[in-house]
């Protein structure tokens, strides 16, 4: 897996020096207890580092600028145990470039009715101090996440954990480099976009390479490496010859092994985390990269077909957001293909020509070799499987000319009723929320693509928070969507995002 750094999050408690040293000692002690409990919960994907209490403009500004320059700091969690006058946060917050979670909690769970006095009130006034802090954040018009809940509660810890993954998506976005070895498919609109604006908004570097440069890297792969990888494929996957000659089949599989090794080396050497291909622009490559691309996605690379660099970058970001997740169900590039319109069984069959990530597979994975219905190369080997069931999120990032919009659809993945023995590609099947008709109508009204970045392991909230942090529009299609309200939302957003 293409891993990201060993990221940490900083825990910064706000206060002031009005309350005396004893109170400040309690503030520090309490925030250390909270940090330890959060770290010990086993729920957070990343460690939290306790920082000394922020009590003055200077300390706040200094701490936040240290957070900016610390490569391993993925974000800051703030909480005002006492009252912390928010003017003292202005400069620090203006300069902070890391994601911020405002954790609105309180050290004690219950009001100590029998003993409460004004000393206790002054020491435990997050209800008061966190509102002052929140006000200045809103006035500065900066993006942040607010989570309210008791720090010992599993629900609160899970929400912090979820936000941490969003923060990783924000931080890692500016490290995404997409290699284009083909241009966008001729005349296709939705996979196009402004690459300069994408770099301004998301930090993505999107570079083109002549396809034959990477084809040369494929040609240079040592025979021993190809043979070893073919052995691995044959060990790991079922081989479905379907009447083909065994030796010829193996030769076709070997071409994909050679592409996998060559591509991975080329991407690694040049430091790219995502790649796009195009079936119509393959240069000296013998086959459309199918199995090879599926394996690279499984290793954590982003991918978009037909030159779709936006989806490639999104797949990479969503994969890195889910890194290290226990019982992860998978994240993939995906494409809407064909509908089932039988009442009560409505849904969209998802697939691609070849390139679906095996992380989403349910059950055995097979290799097939079949002709492609498009292009002019030999029959590519590909992994074939069906996908897991359950809730998931499908996203589409589009360029509207004056802005980017992220469309986020909650979907419910299901099994198709019957096997599809003649379909030589990996598939998923889902019903969009709130139902196929409204879901598809809203998607089309929003301008969503046929390509999606899809994950079982992320939520609409995480993706929407990511979009907010990037300063772009996000629209949700979920159980609450109605077409009338959705159209109004699109119209209002048009005004809200006008430059
Ligand atoms: Mn496609």
| DSSP secondary structure of 105-131 | --S-SS--TTT--HHHHHHS-HHHHHH
- Give, for 493, the enclosing helix (H) or strand (E): helix 483-496
Whole-number Å distance, alpha carbon 317 to ligand 1 midpoint, is 19
Whole-number Å distance, alpha carbon 401 to ligand 1 midpoint, is 22
Residue 108: CB atoms within 10 Å: 13
Q: Which residues are CB-neighbours of 247 under 8 A, at least 6 positions away?
A: none
Whole-number Å distance, alpha carbon 352 to ligand 1 midpoint, is 6
Paired with 398 in beta bridges are 405
CA 385 to chain CA mean position, Å: 23
Identify the pLDDT of residue 254: 97
If DSSP codes are grouped into helix, strand and coil, which group holds residue 171? helix
Inform me whether the pLDDT recorded for 411 exceeds 60.
yes
Question: Is the distance from CB of 419 to CB of 330 less than 8 angstroms?
Answer: no
Separation between Cα atoms, residue 63 and residue 61, nearest integer Å = 6
If DSSP codes are grouped into helix, strand and coil, which group holds residue 65? helix
Residue 153: CB atoms within 10 Å: 12
What average pLDDT does this structure show over 393-417?
Answer: 97
Strand pairing of 473-477 and 404-413? parallel
Whole-number Å distance, alpha carbon 150 to ligand 1 midpoint, is 46
Identify the pLDDT of residue 1: 56
Whole-number Å distance, alpha carbon 205 to ligand 1 midpoint, is 22
Whole-number Å distance, alpha carbon 306 to ligand 1 midpoint, is 6
Identify the pLDDT of residue 428: 98
Mean pLDDT for the chain overall = 96
Q: Is 197 left (phi over 0), alpha (psi -120 to 50) or beta?
A: alpha
Paired with 429 in beta bridges are 349
Which of 441, 237, 210 is CA-nearest to residue 339? 441
Inform me whether the pLDDT recorded for 113 exceeds 90.
yes
If DSSP codes are grouped into helix, strand and coil, which group holds residue 310? helix
What average pLDDT does this structure show over 252-258?
Answer: 97
Range with the poorest average pLDDT among 18-27, 212-221, 268-277, 328-337: 18-27
Strand pairing of 73-80 and 8-14? parallel
Separation between Cα atoms, residue 275 and residue 442, nearest integer Å = 29
Separation between Cα atoms, residue 215 and residue 263, nearest integer Å = 8
Separation between Cα atoms, residue 344 and residue 266, nearest integer Å = 48
What average pLDDT does this structure show over 1-28?
Answer: 88
Q: What token pair was written down for 300?
A: 């954590």
Identify the pLDDT of residue 19: 83
Whole-number Å distance, alpha carbon 337 to ligand 1 midpoint, is 9
Distance separating the N- and C-terminal Cα atoms of the chain:
40
Identify the pLDDT of residue 20: 87
Separation between Cα atoms, residue 467 and residue 393, nearest integer Å = 14
Whole-number Å distance, alpha carbon 335 to ligand 1 midpoint, is 6
Strands (E) in 341-380, as ranges, are: 347-351, 361-369
Inform me whether the pLDDT recorded for 473 exceeds 70.
yes
Which of 154, 14, 169, 144 is CA-nearest to residue 83? 14
Q: What token pair was written down for 312?
A: 């490639």
- The number of C-alpha atoms within 13 Å of 354 and in the hemisphere containing its C-beta is 32
Split at pLDDT 50, 70, 90, the class of 18 is confident
Return the percentage of the chain with pLDDT > 70, whole number.
100
Split at pLDDT 50, 70, 90, the class of 372 is confident
């Amino acid at each position: 897996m293409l891993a990201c750094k060993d990221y940490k999050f900083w825990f910064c408690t706000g206060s002031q020096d009005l309350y005396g040293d004893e109170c400040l000692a309690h503030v520090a002690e309490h925030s250390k207890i909270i940090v330890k409990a959060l770290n010990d919960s086993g729920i957070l994907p990343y460690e939290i580092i306790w920082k000394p209490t922020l009590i003055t403009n200077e300390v706040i500004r200094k701490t936040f600028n240290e957070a900016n320059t610390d490569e391993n700091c993925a974000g800051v969690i703030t909480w005002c145990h006492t009252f912390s006058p928010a003017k003292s946060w202005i400069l620090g917050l203006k300069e902070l470039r890391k994601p911020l979670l405002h954790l609105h909690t309180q050290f004690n769970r219950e009001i100590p009715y029998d003993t409460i006095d004004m000393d206790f009130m002054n020491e435990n006034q997050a209800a008061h101090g966190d509102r002052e802090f929140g006000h200045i954040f809103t006035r500065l018009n900066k993006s942040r996440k607010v989570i309210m809940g008791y720090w010992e509660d599993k629900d609160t810890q899970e929400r912090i954990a979820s936000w941490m993954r969003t923060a990783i998506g924000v931080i890692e976005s500016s490290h995404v480099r997409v290699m284009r070895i083909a241009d966008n498919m001729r005349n296709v609109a939705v996979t196009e976009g402004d690459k300069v604006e994408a770099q301004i908004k998301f930090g993505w570097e999107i570079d083109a390479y002549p396809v034959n440069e990477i084809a040369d890297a494929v040609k240079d792969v040592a025979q021993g490496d190809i043979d070893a990888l073919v052995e691995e494929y044959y060990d790991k996957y079922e081989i479905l010859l379907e009447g083909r000659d065994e030796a010829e089949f193996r030769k076709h599989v070997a071409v994909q092994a050679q592409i996998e090794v060559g591509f991975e080396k080329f991407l690694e050497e040049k430091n790219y985390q995502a790649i796009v291909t195009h079936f119509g622009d393959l240069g000296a490559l013998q086959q459309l990269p199918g199995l090879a691309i599926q394996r690279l996605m499984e290793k954590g690379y982003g991918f978009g077909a037909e030159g779709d660099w936006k989806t490639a970058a999104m797949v990479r970001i969503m994969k890195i957001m889910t890194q290290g997740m226990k019982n992860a169900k998978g994240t993939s590039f995906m494409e809407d293909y064909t509908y089932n319109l039988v009442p009560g069984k409505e849904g969209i069959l998802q697939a691609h020509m070849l390139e679906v990530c095996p992380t989403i597979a349910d059950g055995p994975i097979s290799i097939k070799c079949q002709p492609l219905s498009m292009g002019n190369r030999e029959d590519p080997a590909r992994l074939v499987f069906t996908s897991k069931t359950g809730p998931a999120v499908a996203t589409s990032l589009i360029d509207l000319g004056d802005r980017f919009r992220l469309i986020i659809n909650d979907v419910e993945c299901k099994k198709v009723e019957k096997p599809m023995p003649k379909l030589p590609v990996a598939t998923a099947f889902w019903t969009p929320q709130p139902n196929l008709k409204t879901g598809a109508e809203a998607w089309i009204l929003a301008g969503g693509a046929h390509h999606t970045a899809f994950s079982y392991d992320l939520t609409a909230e995480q993706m929407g928070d990511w979009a907010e942090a990037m300063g772009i529009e996000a629209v949700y299609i979920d159980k609450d969507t109605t077409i009338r309200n959705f159209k109004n939302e699109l119209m209002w957003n048009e005004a809200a995002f006008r430059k």
